[in-house]
Amino acid sequence: MAEVLESHIRETFDRNDCYSREVSQSVDDTIELVRAYLK
């Protein structure tokens, strides 16, 4: 389940290089939170 959500989050919010480093870091933080929650 975590893998599906990670894929969806990355495809939605981290799609291209025009996003800032802050957005990429927020995406990583969100994925980390999802993984911890689903453990």
**Domain, as residue range, for 13:** 2-38
Cβ neighbours of residue 38 closer than 8 Å, sequence gap 6 or more:
1, 2, 5
Quick: pLDDT tens for 3-28: 999 999 988 887 766 668 888 899 99
Number of domains in the chain: 1
Mean pLDDT in the chain?
88
Report whether pLDDT(35) > 90.
Answer: yes
Between CA 36 and CA 19 the distance in angstroms is 25
**HSE-up (13 A, CA, CB side) for residue 9:** 19
SS (H, E, C) the chain: CHHHHHHHHHHHHCCCCCCCHHHHHHHHHHHHHHHHHHC
